[in-house]
Amino acid sequence: MSVKREKLIETALELFAKNGFHATGIDTILAHAGVAKKTLYSHFRTKDELILAALRQHDGEFRNFFMKNVEALADTPEERLLAVFDVAEAWFSQNNFYGCMFINAVGEYSEEGTAIREVCKEFKRLMHSYMKSLAEQAGIKEADELASELALLLEGSIVTAQVSEQRDKAAKTAKRVAKTLIDEANS
Amino acid sequence: MSVKREKLIETALELFAKNGFHATGIDTILAHAGVAKKTLYSHFRTKDELILAALRQHDGEFRNFFMKNVEALADTPEERLLAVFDVAEAWFSQNNFYGCMFINAVGEYSEEGTAIREVCKEFKRLMHSYMKSLAEQAGIKEADELASELALLLEGSIVTAQVSEQRDKAAKTAKRVAKTLIDEANS
DNA sequence: GACAAAGTATACAGGTCTGTCTACTATTTG
DNA sequence: CAAATAGTAGACAGACCTGTATACTTTGTC
């Protein structure tokens, strides 16, 4: 694929994360990426298509980052369910942490059923699916229920880290509750 | 206070909630409110000041709605801690539910220390404070910890209801975990 | 080396944005 | 009743928005 296209998506992701989608203009993206306007519009028909491509790429990249780190931090499925919140803490402490891009996107695009919303919904579905598979591998009976509970905790910690700026505490509180829930589901 | 000013804030809140802050123009607010531009700029110096006034009013209104409903649904402090999630479920099921306006605002305004961000942070602090006082009234030792845990669950259920559109399930899952945590903190 | 593909730079159209200004009209208050 | 206050309607400036078009340049491939 084109290196210009990749540069555009990379730049767009940074600016969308920091300043939001509506507040980030095409010209700003072009200036930061060092790409001409015509090149952008040869790769993407509209700004919305660029947003969509950026979100789709971030979906893949982020889940890859997340799973790779979970698997590096712990070996057993049960330990990995807990490690999710260690990875979250490391994520929150990055200096370019601006919350979850998919949550932020839904805040700006409220119309249900649109492509942008569906990508965000799918990302959350896949994160839930990942935690459910870990729970199943750990031999937990109510794997789906536990995954929903842990997903809720993860969302809560992301938003608390973003809004209340208590990043370490948000992750640690979520992890403490997660431990309680995993122990309970295992008994 | 001026009825025009109130109408402006009310209209702005509806449009900001539905379409976001950057995507909602001054002219759109004026047309919906039936107010002249000069009147707006006699009450607010800039759009940001209107946003700030709207957020501050929503802070008061929302917490009042929340606490009134919690207190109507349950009588004892312990039951009220659980009722928080029944009120959340009722909130999510409103047809004009677009998630938490403060979370959405932070997604659009990333610069820490700005007035808009501080209002959002303060709202979350006050919600935590409310749940902490309920926990204290219920005689729970680690009231602050429990409040942080329940706040995390509440945030998680809000975001899940908004993004994943499983509104009933999000509230019920959070309530189920909350019950576990409250029982544990009481033992 | 020729030629097609991909890129640059930039002007432009048509629209929207915030905020100011002028001129006029109700409304309230002393 | 008169004067101050608060409002309407709308034009306007200057900036920014998305998306298209023109003319030129680089790059890669046969």
Cα–Cα dist A169/A159, whole Å:
12
Verify that B54 and B30 share a domain, yes or no: no
Verify that A146 and A173 share a domain, yes or no: yes
Number of domains in chain A: 2
Q: Cβ A107–B104 below 8 Å, yes or no?
A: yes
Q: What is the model's pLDDT at position B181? A: 98
Enclosing domain of residue B23: 1-44
User: Scanning every residue of chain A, which has its alpha carbon at the shortest distance from the alpha carbon of B20?
Assistant: A108
Q: Does B102 touch chain A (CB under 8 A)?
A: yes
Contact predicate A55/A122, CB 8 Å: no
Verify that A77 and A13 share a domain, yes or no: no
Tokens read off for B48:
């940001």
List of chain B residues with pLDDT < 70: 1
Which domain CATH number covers A9? 1.10.10.60
Contact predicate B182/B81, CB 8 Å: yes
Q: Cβ B153–A153 below 8 Å, yes or no?
A: yes
Verify that B137 and B168 share a domain, yes or no: yes
Q: Is the dihedral of CA A176, A178, A184, A186 positive or negative?
A: negative
Q: A173: distance to nearest CA of chain B, Å?
A: 6
Verify that A106 and A153 share a domain, yes or no: yes
Q: Cβ neighbours of residue B52 under 8 Å, at least 6 residues apart?
A: B115, B116, B119
B42 is near strand D: CB distance < 7 Å: yes
DSSP code of residue B1: -
Q: What is the model's pLDDT at position A22? A: 98
Verify that B138 and B117 share a domain, yes or no: yes
Verify that B83 and B19 share a domain, yes or no: no
Tens digit of each residue's pLDDT, chain A (187 residues): 689 999 999 999 999 999 999 999 999 999 999 999 999 999 999 999 999 999 999 999 999 999 999 999 999 999 999 999 999 999 999 999 999 999 999 999 999 999 999 999 999 999 999 999 999 999 999 999 999 999 999 999 999 999 999 999 999 999 999 999 999 998 8
Cα–Cα dist A80/A62, whole Å:
17
| 3 state SS of A1 | coil
Verify that B35 and B62 share a domain, yes or no: no
Which domain CATH number covers A68? 1.10.357.10
Q: What is the model's pLDDT at position B88? A: 98
Verify that B85 and B133 share a domain, yes or no: yes
User: Scanning every residue of chain A, which has its alpha carbon at the shortest distance from the alpha carbon of B151?
Assistant: A156
Q: What is the model's pLDDT at position A125? A: 98
Verify that A26 and A57 share a domain, yes or no: no
Verify that A108 and A40 share a domain, yes or no: no
B35 is near strand D: CB distance < 7 Å: yes
